């Protein structure tokens, strides 16, 4: 199994991810960066996150892998898989970066296979029903990059931070 997956997420000060199957806030600069990073690569999403995309369609110009336990689920243009094992089989053939794009259930299950986490920190505390694990509290993850706070056109402050997995848990 690959262990070089890249987790990418935006999270508020409480590591909140979303509410009512939506993002907490749409930060256009961050969405642009997400598109640029993932374009031409592979993204992995849970079925609920796929259904937050425009018209519930996969994102163009990248390979979309969607996890669902529903054997009858179909989505034109996406690769549908029904377990983590099946997902790993599906990505075997791709010599591309693989971005883990949520939501909560997918981040939880795939974090052990990630070695880099790209987090957009949102300077706020929102009501959220889905969360990411607090990477600052995980002994096997280390923050390596802390960007400057910047103001979004959406009127909120945010910054990019990066974490890498440290093999020895230090």
- Tokens 């749409």, residue? 26
Instruction: Tell me which of 5, 6, 7, 10 binds ligand NAP, using CB under 6 A.
Output: 10
Tell me the closest approach of the beta carbon of residue 120 to ligand NAP, in angstroms.
7
Instruction: Tell me which of 3, 36, 55, 69 binds ligand NAP, using CB under 6 A.
Output: 69
The helix/strand/coil state of 16 is: strand
Return the residue nearest ligand NAP (CB atom): 103
Instruction: Tell me which of 67, 98, 100, 135 binds ligand NAP, using CB under 6 A.
Output: 67
62 binds ligand NAP (CB under 6 A): no
9 binds ligand NAP (CB under 6 A): yes
d(CA 152, CA 26): 10
Cα distances (angstroms) measured from residue 94 to each of 17, 43, 102: 28, 11, 20
Interacting span for ligand NAP (CB under 6 A) from 54-62, 100-108, 134-142, 159-167: 100-108
Dihedral Cα 15, 12, 123, 100, nearest 10 deg:
90
Residue 57 or 166 having the CB closest to ligand NAP: 57
The helix/strand/coil state of 107 is: helix
Tell me the closest approach of the beta carbon of residue 51 to ligand NAP, in angstroms.
8
Which residues sit opposite 63 in a β-bridge? 42
Which positions ≥6 away from 148 have C-beta within 8 Å? 159
Contact between residue 106 and residue 43 where contact means Cβ atoms under 8 Å apart: no
Tell me the closest approach of the beta carbon of residue 112 to ligand NAP, in angstroms.
13
83 binds ligand NAP (CB under 6 A): yes
Interacting span for ligand NAP (CB under 6 A) from 10-18, 53-61, 90-98, 151-159: 10-18
Cα distances (angstroms) measured from residue 82 to each of 51, 67, 86, 125: 16, 6, 6, 34
Residues that bind ligand NAP (CB under 6 A): 9-11, 17-18, 21-23, 45-49, 52, 67-70, 73, 82-84, 101-106, 109, 130
């Amino acid at each position: 199994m690959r262990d070089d997956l890249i987790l990418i997420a935006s999270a508020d000060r409480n590591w909140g991810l979303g509410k009512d199957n939506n993002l907490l806030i749409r930060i256009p600069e961050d969405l642009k960066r997400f598109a640029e990073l993932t374009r031409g690569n592979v993204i992995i999403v849970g079925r609920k996150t796929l259904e937050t995309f425009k018209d519930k369609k996969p994102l163009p110009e990248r390979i979309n892998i969607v996890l669902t336990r529903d054997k009858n689920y179909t989505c034109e243009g996406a690769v549908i898989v029904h377990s983590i094992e099946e997902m790993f089989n599906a990505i075997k053939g791709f010599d591309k970066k693989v971005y883990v794009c949520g939501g909560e259930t997918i981040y939880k299950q795939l974090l052990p296979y990630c070695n880099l986490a790209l987090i957009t920190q949102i300077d706020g505390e929102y009501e959220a029903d889905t969360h990411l694990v607090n990477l600052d509290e995980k002994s096997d993850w280390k923050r390596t990059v802390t960007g400057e706070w910047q103001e979004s056109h959406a009127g909120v402050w945010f910054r990019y931070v990066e974490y890498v997995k440290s093999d020895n848990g230090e």
